[in-house]
Amino acid sequence: MTRRTEIKKKNRILKASFTYHYALLLLLTASLYSCGVSKFIPNGEALYTGSKINIESNKDIGNTKKISQELHTLLDPEPNSKILGIRPGLYLHYKTQKKNPGFLNRWLNKKWGEEPVYLSDVNPQRIEQLMLNRLDNRGFFYSKVSSKLDSTRKHAALRYQVELQQPYTLEQFKLDKDSLPIYNDISKALTQTEIKLGKRFDLELMKYERERIDQELKQKGYYNFNPDFLIFEVDTNRYDNKKFDLFLRLKKNVPKKSLVPYTIDSISVFPNFSIDTDTLTPSSTSTINGMSFFQKEEFFKPKKLEPYILFGLGQKYNSNTARLTSNRLSSLGTYKFVNIRFNEKDTSATDSVGSLSADIFLSPLTKRSVRAEFQAVTKSNGFAGPGVAVTYNNRNLFRGGETFGITGNFAYETQLSGGNNTGLSSIAGGLKADLIIPSLLPFSPRSFKYAVPKTKISLGTDFLKRSKLYTLSSFNTSFGYTWNANKFVYHELNPINVNYVNLSNTTEEFLAILDNNPFLSQSFEQQFIAGLNYTFTYNELVDPNKSRPFFVSTSLDIAGNTLNLLSGSKTTIFGLEYAQYAKADIDFRYYIKWAKEQALVARLYGGWGIPYGNSSTLPFVKQFFSGGPYSVRAFNIRSLGPGTFNSVEDGTSSFFDQSGNLKLEANLEYRFPIWSYFKGAIFADAGNVWLTNETEISEDASAESIEFNEELLAKGKFSSNWAKELGIGLGVGLRVDIQSFVLRFDFSSPLQVPYLPEGERIRIPFFDGGSNNLIFNFAIGYPF
């Protein structure tokens, strides 16, 4: 062991010792701080510190975890919040009770103070009664609940003892029916019931079953039905072994109109309805498939609007169809308000069926809009500068719900710090036009029941000028489809996706870099990319009621195969060398939510691109990068990899992005509220990129180029030691979350630095690494 290594080891031991003593001091301070609260508690009162529930049950009952969770929800009130054994909110409250608390104490108490919760605020008898009632509702009749006080002079807690009795279980479930036709529909609905023989008595399940049957009937025309019209009756007289029979029937005196289905006899559509004037006297009327369209002048073509309406004349009322129709009309992008009203007609002529009229009121958005965004951008690689983006939108362009948009952007960046690269700058700009058609050409929108599919046609151009290096201009066009299969599933398919990239104005400095870096040189050579891509997304985050949602998105990008068939054995088309590759990735996220706005989020990402045929490397714009505010935050943007490779040995930041054709990444983040709009986070990131294929070297390559290529492959090739080559970092974050607009400030420090010599890659975060031990990331939105 060298003297230098010994010194480093001693420094780590000293820092670890310092951290241990510092943590010990914090715990001691917290203990003293907590004890300081006791002196404020008034005589005759005891601070309520919470309750515990102990459940005793027969072994035959099985797991009682769910019952315990339900009973814990009945504990009220909650004790004062506690962090690391202290109650800061309570302490702030007590500080303001002094005669002259001072402005600062009053302000802190207003923001974070908590009123004390004493034992006298708790009613154990009421909680016991609530628990017994909940247990009865869950079938545990004749159970017992008692409470016991566990207290000191200034603090008190409660312990609830629950003795569970054997629950009542279902022996027979029967529908008591007569000759009314509605009973046949109820009987069909019961084929999907969750009430099964052998299950224990559950009042909540019965309430849910009534709601479910009501929804089933609403989809079969029973417009006036209500779940309260159904009643469950329980009979335990036939058994002496805690079993029961369950009967379902309609209540007496249910209104007659609630027992018959309704059909839709007329449909009126108002495509240009104004909420302000509430006018219903348009001058123009047209009829499509029995639907009447009323508008003063043709705002939306009736023949194009009619396919988005899923119900028709003579059909039975269906609440689900009405809801889907409303969603479809809203998703057109043309209307800000959609209102569907069903009105009962006179049904005295018949007793077996009712009649409804449907009125659809559609209030348009402003047809044209212009939005300008001014930006001030700062990046973790040292670049900063202003930017502007202007967007023009024209809604309902051809009176069929089409949206046409043009976006222009311009940005300037300069590297304010970065050693030898200081002063480098870049100018970027672009122009993009999109036409979105609310249908899946050439198919009818009616083929998609859940949501309106959309066809998107895009055309755009971009340029990037990096001073002292090169100018990169590109042209891109695409034709594709997007649609939601259901609430959670989203598809995007672009069968036509063309990119043309032109590298020009290259300087001698940049050409020298390309000569010495065959991998980078070849990634810029193939300028024409044509292929297709597909993305599948399953997203449970759209359901706010899910406590453990997950998100998965995977995409496939294939280029060059069609061109290869068209051009035969040629490597060019239209005189341009085209790329051939297959690229796929998957992004998986799992969320565990609890309490108030607290969540633990885990993310795994993997991507792999394989060049073949006409290509030996992926095009530069299709490669993978690692590092930055949406990746491994302990490293500058796009500065990791491939493997253990580092383009700059002197520690200065590089102007060139480091890339690979294989990427692995993992993130773990704990999110919690701080106060109001301010949220906090503690996170860990790990990831890198690698190479999986060798770069071809021309016979006349220079010695420097051959040496560089050998070094790149030796350090960047994916191997069984990949875990030791991960960039790993730990950090904390502050987020300002204002109605889903998030400003994110993350501070992170490396734990493992892959490009350091093996044996020296592990660091103590926030201590080792000198000036590189802290990376600041500013970004918009959550990282995942």
Residue 741, CA distances (Å) to 53, 697, 737, 738 in order: 41, 49, 6, 5
Whole-angstrom distance, CA of residue 763 vs CA of residue 104: 40
- Report pLDDT for 351: 65
Q: 3-28 burial, b if ≥16 CB within 10 A, otherwise e?
A: eeeeeeeeeeeeeeeeeeeeeeeeee
Residue 526's pLDDT band (cuts 50, 70, 90): low
Tell which residue, 404, 413, 361, has the closest CA to residue 384: 413
Bridge partners for 358 per DSSP:
267, 342
What are the tens digits of pLDDT across the range 414-466? Answer: 876 554 555 678 899 999 999 999 988 877 776 777 888 999 999 999 998 88
Strand locations in 251-329 (E): 262-270, 284-288, 291-295
Residue 193 has pLDDT above 80, yes or no: yes
3-state secondary structure string, 625-662? CCCCCCCCCCCCCCCCCCCCCCCCCCCCCCCCCCCECE
Residue 358 has pLDDT above 80, yes or no: yes
ω into 442 cis (within 30 of 0): yes
Tell which residue, 482, 444, 491, 486, has the closest CA to residue 308: 444
**Could you give the percent of the chain with pLDDT greater than 70?**
87
Mean pLDDT of 489-517: 86
- Report pLDDT for 11: 47
What are the tens digits of pLDDT across the range 546-590? Answer: 999 999 999 999 998 887 777 666 677 777 788 899 999 999 999
For the chain, the straight-line distance linking the first and the last C-alpha, in angstroms and rounded, comes to 43
pTM above 0.85, yes or no: no
Contacts of 292 (CB under 8 A, 6+ apart): 266, 267, 268, 269, 285, 286
Residue 237, CA distances (Å) to 135, 141, 142, 170, 243 in order: 21, 15, 16, 13, 9
Q: Is the Cβ–Cβ distance between 465 and 471 less than 8 Å?
A: yes
Whole-angstrom distance, CA of residue 129 vs CA of residue 142: 12
Least confident span in 144-148, 162-166, 219-223, 377-381: 377-381
- Report pLDDT for 223: 95
- What does the block give as tokens for 46? 């005891």
Give the count of beta carbons closer than 10 Å to the beta carbon of residue 565. 8
Q: Is the Cβ–Cβ distance between 730 and 746 less than 8 Å?
A: no
Tell which residue, 422, 502, 431, has the closest CA to residue 467: 422
Q: Is the Cβ–Cβ distance between 236 and 142 less than 8 Å?
A: no
Give the count of beta carbons closer than 10 Å to the beta carbon of residue 742. 15
The DSSP result for 47-93, as a single string, is EEEEEEEEEE--GGG---HHHHHHHHTT--SPPPP-BTTB-HHHHHH
ω into 77 cis (within 30 of 0): yes
Residue 29's pLDDT band (cuts 50, 70, 90): very low
Domains of the chain: 3-119+143-163 (no CATH), 169-259 (3.10.20.310), 262-364 (3.10.20.310)
- Report pLDDT for 423: 60
Mean pLDDT of 717-732: 94
Strand locations in 365-453 (E): 368-378, 383-395, 403-415, 425-437
Mean pLDDT of 13-32: 42
Give the count of beta carbons closer than 10 Å to the beta carbon of residue 313. 13
Pairing of strands 368-378, 354-364: unpaired
Whole-angstrom distance, CA of residue 486 vs CA of residue 547: 20
Tell which residue, 737, 716, 727, has the closest CA to residue 686: 727
**Sheet order of strands, 47-56 included:** 47-56, 155-163, 144-151
Pairing of strands 576-577, 581-594: unpaired
**Sheet order of strands, 291-295 included:** 284-288, 291-295, 262-270, 354-364, 335-344
- Report pLDDT for 17: 44
Residue 775 has pLDDT above 60, yes or no: yes
Whole-angstrom distance, CA of residue 689 vs CA of residue 721: 13
3-class secondary-structure state, position 536: strand
Whole-angstrom distance, CA of residue 602 vs CA of residue 784: 9
Mean pLDDT of the chain: 86
Residue 202's pLDDT band (cuts 50, 70, 90): very high
What are the tens digits of pLDDT across the range 603-657? Answer: 999 999 999 888 888 888 889 999 989 999 999 888 898 999 886 553 333 445 6
Please report how the helices 182-189 and 203-218 are oriented relative to each other, as an axis angle in degrees rounded to 10: 120
Mean pLDDT of 135-139: 94
Whole-angstrom distance, CA of residue 493 vs CA of residue 537: 12
- Report pLDDT for 109: 83
The DSSP result for 743-756, as a single string, is EEEEEEEEEE-TTS
Q: Quote the longest CA-to-CA distance of the chain.
A: 104
Whole-angstrom distance, CA of residue 42 vs CA of residue 154: 9
